[in-house]
Structure 1
Amino acid sequence: MKTNVKFNVFVLMAERILQLGGALFVSGVIARYLSVPEFGQWQFSLQILAYAGTIGLICGAEIVLPKIAKGNVNKVIINAFILRLLFGFIALIISTATVYFININYNVKIFSAILFVTLIINEPFAIFSCYLQSKTNNFPLSLVRVISVSLRVGIIIFVCILNLNMYFFAVAWVVESIVTGLGYLFCFMKFKDENVFFNIKLIDFSFMKSLATQGGLFLFGQFFLMTALRLDRIFVTKYANGDFVGNYMAVTQLLDSIFQFAIIINTVFITSFIYNKAKIKSNDLKELFKLSLIYIFISVIGSIVLYYLSDYIIYIIYGDKYKISANLLKDISFIIPFYTLNILFSSLIFKYSKYFQYLIVNIIVSIFVGCYVYFQVGVNNYTYLIFTPYVYTISSLVFSFIIIVRIKGEEK
Structure 2
Amino acid sequence: MTPIWLKLLPASLRARIEHRPNLQKALTNTGWLLGDKILRMGMGLLVGVWVARYLGPEQFGLMNYAMAIVALFGAVAGLGLNGIVVRDLVQKADGASLTLGTTFLLQLMGGFLAFVLAVVAISVMRPADDLARAMVAILGFALVFKASEVVKYWFESQVRSKYTVWVENGVFLILAAIRVGLILVKAPLLAFVWAALAETALAGSLLLLVYARQAGWLLNWRASRSRAKSLLMESWPLILGSMASMINMRMDQVMLGSMVNNTVVGNYSAAVRLAEVWLIIPGIIGSSIYPSIIAAKAKSEELYRKRILQVTKLMATGVLPAAVIIFLLSDQVVHLIYGQQYAAAGTYLAIYIWTGVPYLVFFVLNQMFYIEGLLKAGFVVSIFSVVSNVLLNFMLIPLYGGIGAAISTLITAVGSTLLSLAILNSKTGIFLNNRK
> TM-score, normalized by length of structure 2?
0.86
1:117 to 141, 145, 158: 141
1:270-309 correspondence to structure 2 within 5 Å: 270-309=290-329
- RMSD of aligned Cα (Å): 2.4
Q: Secondary structure at the match of 1:321?
A: helix
Q: Secondary structure at the match of 1:342?
A: helix
Query: Structure 2 vs 1, CA of residues 291 and 409 (structure 1 numbering), >3 Å: closer, same or farther?
Result: closer
1:296-375 correspondence to structure 2 within 5 Å: 296-375=316-395
2:213 to 169, 182, 190: 190
1:30 is displaced (CA, Å) by 1.6
Corresponding position of 2:238: 218
Instruction: Output the amino acid matched with 1:66.
Output: V
Corresponding position of 1:165: 188
1:137 aligns with 2:160: yes
Q: Secondary structure at the match of 1:181?
A: helix
Query: Structure 2 vs 1, CA of residues 323 and 409 (structure 1 numbering), >3 Å: closer, same or farther?
Result: closer
Inter-partner Cα distance in structure 2 for 1:161 and 1:340: 38
1:1-400 correspondence to structure 2 within 5 Å: 4-58=25-79, 60-61=81-82, 63-68=83-88, 71=92, 72-103=95-126, 105-121=129-145, 123-192=146-215, 198-199=218-219, 202-377=222-397, 379=399, 381-400=401-420
Instruction: Output the amino acid matched with 1:113.
Output: A
1:95 is displaced (CA, Å) by 1.3
Deviations 1:78-99 (A, max 9, x none): 1110111111111112211221
1:171 is displaced (CA, Å) by 1.3
Aligned 8 A contact 2:98 2:221 in 1 = no
Q: Secondary structure at the match of 2:189?
A: coil
Inter-partner Cα distance in structure 1 for 2:352 and 2:116: 35
Deviations 1:316-367 (A, max 9, x none): 4322210111122122223322222111222222211332222111011211
Q: Secondary structure at the match of 2:73?
A: helix
Q: Secondary structure at the match of 1:35?
A: helix
Query: Structure 2 vs 1, CA of residues 400 and 281 (structure 1 numbering), >3 Å: closer, same or farther?
Result: farther
Inter-partner Cα distance in structure 2 for 1:28 and 1:81: 35
Deviations 1:84-125 (A, max 9, x none): 11111111122112212322744322221111121110x200
Aligned 8 A contact 1:307 1:333 in 2 = yes
Deviations 1:267-311 (A, max 9, x none): 111233224443433432322222333333331111122223323
Instruction: Output the amino acid matched with 2:39.
Output: L
Q: Sequence identity of aligned pairs in percent? A: 18
Instruction: Output the amino acid matched with 2:132.
Output: V
1:243 is displaced (CA, Å) by 2.9
Q: Secondary structure at the match of 2:341?
A: coil
Q: Secondary structure at the match of 2:356?
A: helix
Which stretch shifts more, 322-331 or 123-132? 322-331
Aligned 8 A contact 1:55 1:88 in 2 = yes
Q: Secondary structure at the match of 2:218?
A: coil
Deviations 1:58-97 (A, max 9, x none): 2511x22133455221101011101111111111122112
Query: Structure 2 vs 1, CA of residues 379 and 160 (structure 1 numbering), >3 Å: closer, same or farther?
Result: closer
Aligned 8 A contact 1:49 1:112 in 2 = yes
Inter-partner Cα distance in structure 1 for 2:200 and 2:221: 27
Instruction: Output the amino acid matched with 2:139.
Output: L
Aligned 8 A contact 1:77 1:127 in 2 = yes
1:221 is displaced (CA, Å) by 0.8
Higher relative contact order, structure no. (Cα contacts within 8 Å, ≥ 6 residues apart): 1
Inter-partner Cα distance in structure 2 for 1:57 and 1:41: 25
Instruction: Output the amino acid matched with 1:300.
Output: L
Aligned 8 A contact 2:100 2:222 in 1 = no
* Structure 2 unpaired stretches of 5+: 4-23
| Runs of 4+, deviation exceeding 6 Å | none
Instruction: Output the amino acid matched with 1:54.
Output: A
Query: Structure 2 vs 1, CA of residues 350 and 201 (structure 1 numbering), >3 Å: closer, same or farther?
Result: closer
Aligned 8 A contact 1:74 1:197 in 2 = no
Instruction: Output the amino acid matched with 1:74.
Output: S
Aligned 8 A contact 1:51 1:227 in 2 = yes
Query: Structure 2 vs 1, CA of residues 254 and 42 (structure 1 numbering), >3 Å: closer, same or farther?
Result: same
> TM-score, normalized by length of structure 1?
0.91
1:151 is displaced (CA, Å) by 1.7
1:201 is displaced (CA, Å) by 7.1
Instruction: Output the amino acid matched with 1:42.
Output: M
Query: Structure 2 vs 1, CA of residues 201 and 332 (structure 1 numbering), >3 Å: closer, same or farther?
Result: closer
Q: Secondary structure at the match of 1:333?
A: helix
Instruction: Output the amino acid matched with 2:226.
Output: S
1:314 is displaced (CA, Å) by 1.6
